[in-house]
Structures are given as structure tokens and as C-alpha cells.
């Protein structure tokens, strides 16, 4: 995947678990305007059954695209890139979307093209888009072999191999959130058990937090949410950790260990020089990087016998996916 053949301003849209976020991306890569709407929540949680969710998501994307085209002035951009969570094939079909139930099988590009004529729409995996953006403008700039790891509802991984984002034979490379790290672990929406993202994503943080709350290790945090451990969420841990709460910092240590475990596994495959961590953990991100680096150093194969691998924060924040989608839309794919 490359962004060769630049064609002026484009629109990039990132479909996240909670919001659909779009940017109007200038030819120089500057973000000229932003728009966001809530991600439609499906009526089913059966990921294998396609339903209206694909249409609902496409409508949300269209709302964002319309707003950004209006912001584009007299010559609204025609090129739109969409970053979608899950397995997006080389034709842009969202084949399987564990974290967007009901949308599996959706032709989002087709639906968006039907909604607004005269658009050129490309769809790509959201993490691959984020990797493209970080490679171009962010923490993976000039990196030949690297990984972009986005922690959100799940975990998205974009692999930079030989300076390019590697998408694999079918387009499905980097679906590493669904590496199984414990076959006896909690069920995953993908239909299996113990996937990495059950432990190390933003969603995984909530699960680890509730475990710690039930075990009595988060007394202060539980008190702040009204006394019921079930009400503890990832954001509560981030907030408490920023305030120095020992229990919350302990949960981030645990999250860091699980994150490092998956990274160490991926290192055996990719041999990266740098790993960028981004996504929705927000302001507590730096509190996660330290325990992650510590555990990573201990878990990595042959640590003393290889050059150091940097684990850094992503530079573009929550905009990475949308910026990357906008970059991807620049590629001239016309015959």
C-alpha cells in the first residue's frame, strides 16, 4: 500500500467502535477540517450474520463525507478513503468484522458511492491506514521495518515491511488482535477464545479493571463509581492512574504485560526496528508505555543478542486512522 500519485485534497474516514471520524486532508497532508458522528450500534451481536448494520455504518460515513465535502469549498474532493475495522479484502469488501457486528460482508465503498455520485472510494483495514499515516508523518517516519499498534475497542496492527504497509495475500495481514494468547481465555467476538485483544486493548483494560475490582485491588476506584465493581471502566483506570492511584497503576502494569506479550510474539515474525503504540487510551498512554517496555525487554526472544527495538507512542493520536485513509485515497487506482 502506498500513497503515490497525489491528487490534491482527499477525505479520510476512520470507522471506530464508538465514533466515525473523518478528516479533509490537504495535498500537503495538513488536516483542513474534521467531522465525527457516533458509530451506529448494531441490533445483533452475532458477528457472522450480516444485517442492516453495514448500511447504517455506510450512512454514518456518508454524513461525515458530506460535511467534509461542504468544507472543501467550490471543488469538493472526489477521493474518499475509508478505514474499517476487521478483515478488508483487496476489493475493499469488509469480509469479517468481529468488532462491528452485523457489518461483515458489507461493501462500504459501494454503499458510499451509491449515496454520493462521482466519488472514487477505497476501503482498507483501519490499522493499515493508521500505519500508513504514522509511516508518512509520525512515529514510523523513515522506518523500513516497523509496526503500528492501535489500542481501541480491539487491537489493530499495521505492518511496515521494506518501507511499505504490508497487507498480505488477501489483504488480511496484521489481524494480530486475534492472535490467541490463552486458548482457555475469555470468549472473543471472533468466535474463539483468549485473543490478544481481550487482554491488551482499550476493551481489555476494562475487563482487567473489573477483575482487579472484584479482587479488592481497586477500592478507591470502585468507590468513585458508586461501589459496584461492574461499573468500573477503562477510562476510570486512566483517570485514577493519572492521579497516582496504586491500584489503577497496577492494572496498567498488567495491561502493559499483556501488550508486551503480543508485541514480543510479533517481533519473532516481523523483526521491526520500532513499534508505535496508538489509540484510545488517551492521556494515560505514557503510563502504559513504561510497564510495556519493561515487560517487552524480558519477554522478547534473544533480547541481549539483537539491536534494541524502540517502543514509542504514536505521534498522530486519534487522527492517525483518518489521515491514513485520506493518504490511501490518493493512490491512483484507475485502470
Closest distance of CB 89 from Zn ion, Å:
18
Decide the pairing of beta strands 274-279 and 146-151.
Answer: parallel
Closest distance of CB 17 from Zn ion, Å:
14
CA distance linking residue 36 with residue 34, whole number of Å? 7
Q: Taking the CB of residue 239, how many other CB atoms lie within 10 A of it?
A: 17
Closest distance of CB 333 from Zn ion, Å:
31
Closer CB to Zn ion, 100 or 289, in the complex: 100
Closest distance of CB 102 from Zn ion, Å:
17
Give yes or no for residue 82 binding Zn ion (CB under 5 A): no
Closer CB to Zn ion, 188 or 322, in the complex: 188
Closest distance of CB 263 from Zn ion, Å:
17
Closer CB to Zn ion, 139 or 153, in the complex: 153
Give yes or no for residue 176 binding Zn ion (CB under 5 A): no
Closer CB to Zn ion, 178 or 274, in the complex: 178
Which range, of 101-109, 174-182, 211-219, 233-241, touches Zn ion by CB under 5 A? 174-182
Residues 311, 295: contact at Cβ < 8 Å? no
CA distance linking residue 152 with residue 211, whole number of Å? 19
Element (H, E) at 201: none
Closer CB to Zn ion, 64 or 97, in the complex: 97
Closer CB to Zn ion, 69 or 178, in the complex: 178
DSSP classification of residue 306: S
Beta bridge partners of 106: 94
Q: CA-CA distances (angstroms) from residue 49 to 82, 83, 226, 272?
A: 22, 21, 37, 37
Closest distance of CB 116 from Zn ion, Å:
34
Q: CA-CA distances (angstroms) from residue 126 to 73, 132, 206, 256, 316?
A: 27, 10, 22, 23, 14
Beta bridge partners of 164: 161
Which range, of 115-123, 162-170, 176-184, 225-233, touches Zn ion by CB under 5 A? 176-184
Closest distance of CB 155 from Zn ion, Å:
10
- Give, as ranges, the residues between 5 and 24 that touch Zn ion (CB under 5 A): none
Burial of residue 182 (number of CB atoms within 10 Å: 0-12, 13-18, 19+):
middle
DSSP classification of residue 178: G
Binding mask 118-147 for Zn ion (x = CB under 5 A): ------------------------------
Closer CB to Zn ion, 203 or 285, in the complex: 203
End-to-end distance of the chain based on CA atoms, in angstroms? Answer: 17
Closest distance of CB 39 from Zn ion, Å:
19
Residues 104, 89: contact at Cβ < 8 Å? no
Q: Give the cell for residue 30.
A: 495538513
The count of chain residues that interact with Zn ion, using the rule CB under 5 A, is: 4
Place of cell 498480505: 168
Closer CB to Zn ion, 23 or 87, in the complex: 87
Binding mask 183-202 for Zn ion (x = CB under 5 A): -----x-x----x-------
Give yes or no for residue 178 binding Zn ion (CB under 5 A): yes
CA distance linking residue 75 with residue 31, whole number of Å? 17
Closer CB to Zn ion, 195 or 300, in the complex: 195
- Give, as ranges, the residues between 213 and 252 that touch Zn ion (CB under 5 A): none
What's the 3-state SS for 133-159?
HHHHHCCCCCCCCEEEEEECCCEEEEE
Closest distance of CB 194 from Zn ion, Å:
8
Binding site for Zn ion (CB under 5 A): 178, 188, 190, 195
Amino acid at each position: 500500500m502506498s500513497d503515490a500519485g497525489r491528487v490534491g485534497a482527499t477525505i479520510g474516514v476512520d470507522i471506530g467502535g464508538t465514533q466515525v471520524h473523518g478528516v479533509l486532508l490537504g495535498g500537503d497532508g495538513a488536516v483542513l477540517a474534521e467531522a465525527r458522528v457516533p458509530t451506529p450500534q448494531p441490533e445483533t451481536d452475532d458477528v457472522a450474520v450480516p444485517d442492516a448494520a453495514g448500511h447504517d455504518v455506510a450512512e454514518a460515513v456518508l454524513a461525515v463525507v458530506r460535511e467534509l465535502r461542504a468544507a472543501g469549498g467550490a471543488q469538493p474532493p472526489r477521493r474518499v478513503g475509508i478505514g474499517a475495522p476487521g478483515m478488508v479484502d483487496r476489493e475493499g469488501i469488509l469480509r469479517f468484522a468481529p468488532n462491528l457486528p452485523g457489518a461483515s460482508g458489507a461493501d462500504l465503498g459501494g454503499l458510499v458511492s451509491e449515496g454520493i455520485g462521482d466519488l472514487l472510494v477505497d476501503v482498507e483495514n483501519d490499522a493499515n491506514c493508521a500505519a500508513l499515516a504514522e509511516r508518512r508523518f509520525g512515529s514510523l517516519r523513515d522506518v523500513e521495518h516497523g509496526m503500528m499498534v492501535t489500542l481501541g475497542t480491539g487491537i489493530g496492527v499495521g505492518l511496515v515491511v521494506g518501507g511499505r504497509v504490508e497487507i498480505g495475500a488477501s489483504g488480511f495481514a496484521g489481524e494480530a488482535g486475534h492472535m490467541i494468547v490463552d486458548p482457555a481465555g475469555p470468549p472473543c467476538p471472533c468466535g474463539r477464545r483468549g485473543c490478544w485483544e481481550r487482554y491488551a486493548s482499550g476493551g481489555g483494560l476494562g475487563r482487567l479493571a473489573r477483575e482487579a475490582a472484584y479482587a479488592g485491588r481497586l477500592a478507591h476506584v470502585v468507590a468513585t463509581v458508586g461501589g459496584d465493581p461492574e461499573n468500573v471502566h477503562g477510562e476510570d483506570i486512566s483517570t485514577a492512574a493519572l492521579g497516582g492511584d496504586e491500584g489503577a497503576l497496577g492494572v496498567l502494569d498488567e495491561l502493559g504485560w499483556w501488550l508486551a506479550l503480543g508485541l514480543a510474539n510479533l517481533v519473532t515474525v516481523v523483526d521491526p526496528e520500532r513499534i508505535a503504540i496508538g489509540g484510545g487510551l488517551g492521556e494515560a498512554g505514557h503510563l502504559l508505555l513504561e510497564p510495556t517496555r519493561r515487560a517487552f525487554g524480558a519477554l522478547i526472544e534473544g533480547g541481549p543478542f539483537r539491536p534494541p527495538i524502540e517502543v514509542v507512542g504514536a505521534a498522530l493520536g486519534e487522527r492517525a486512522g483518518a489521515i491514513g485513509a485520506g493518504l490511501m485515497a490518493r493512490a491512483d487506482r484507475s485502470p
